[in-house]
Every structure is written in structure tokens, then in C-alpha cells.
Amino acid sequence: MNQGRSKPMIGRDLWWVLVQVPLIVLAYFLPIWSGAVAQTLPEWLVRFAGAVLVLVAVPMALVAFVTLGRYLTPFPRPMEHARLRDRGVYGVVRHPIYSAIILSATGWSMWSLSWPGVVFAAVLGLFFDRKAAHEEYWLSLKFASYPDYRKRVKKLIPWIY
């Protein structure tokens, strides 16, 4: 039985998931391998900013996970009986889980003083931006109100992008 999925997730949808897993793993291990590199800003300031990003990202992800509940899927195509979430954290940013992954990877890299990690977090951001665009194609097909939601709420960075 399909358990709420509209179609089996194969092809391009599976590709997004298979690529995101090693990218996320690398985003969290790269700072360990390349941390404590020289920087021009005071170490405490970089670490503090990184900690703040992680402390914002983790609760955001948890709230987003709970909000989606049983309709959470790693695939870009929404489940068959899913409902559009546009309130709470989804009223601040359209893809809060992706945002949280990017923010936490950036924060972890800053905490670790890993500039290669920060650069890689930007690469991770580009990946999730493209995955979100692919996902939004499916969301627009499924939900008639999605174009209005898209105009009202930013994609990955609240009030900015």
C-alpha cells in the first residue's frame, strides 16, 4: 500500500534525496576536519554568532517537523492527502526545514571556525534552493492557493529571500 503517497518516488525525486544526504553529512563533518582556521574577526564573536544560528535553527526544524507530522517526506512531491501549511513557522518562511539545515550548518561551521565549512554551507544552500524550486512546482500543482502563499512568504530567509 502507498500510505498517502500519490505515486512511487523514483527518478528525479529520488535523486534529490540521494544527493542531499551526503551533502548534509559533509556539511557537518567538514568543520571538524577544517576547524580553527585563522580569521580576522575575534574568535569569541564568530563562535557566538554560530551558536546563535544553531540555537535558532534547531527549534525551527523541530517545529516544522511537528507541524508537518505524518505528511513529512524527504521527497519534493507532497503526499496525496497533505494540506498546505502556511501558518506558524511556515508563515515566516516557506521551507523552514531547509532553512534550518542551512542555518545550522553555517552556525556549526562558524562555531568550529571553519571557513571551508561556511563556504560549503553556502553550497548546501544552493542545493536546497534548487530542491525547493522543484518542490514548489509540485506544490503549485497540488494547492491552488500556493501562488498567493509564495508571494506572501519568502522561500528560505525570512523577509529577505
DSSP SS3 for 71: helix
Buried b (16+ CB within 10 A) or exposed e, 62-90: ebbeebbeeeebebbbbbeebeebbeebb
On the CB side of 72, how many CA atoms lie within 13 Å of its CA?
Answer: 14
Which tens digits make up the pLDDT trace of 9-51?
556 678 888 888 888 888 877 787 776 665 667 888 999 999 9
- Chain centre distance of CA 68: 14
Mean pLDDT, residues 93-103 taken together = 97
Distance in angstroms (rounded) separating the CA atoms of residues 49 and 67: 27
Closest CA to 116 of 17, 28, 14, 25: 28
Ranges of each domain in the chain = 27-69+87-152
Which tens digits make up the pLDDT trace of 112-125?
999 899 999 999 99
Distance in angstroms (rounded) separating the CA atoms of residues 99 and 93: 8
C-alpha cell at 31: 568543520
Q: Where are the alpha helices (DSSP H) in the chain?
A: 12-34, 43-68, 96-111, 115-142, 146-152
pLDDT for the residue 1: 40
Cβ proximity of 68 and 85 under 8 Å: yes
Number of C-beta neighbours around residue 92 at 10 A: 14
Residue 8 makes CB contacts below 8 A (sequence gap 6+) with: 2
The whole-model pTM stands at 0.83
Torsion of CA 103, 105, 108, 110, to 10 degrees: -70
Asked if residue 2 has pLDDT above 50, the reply is no
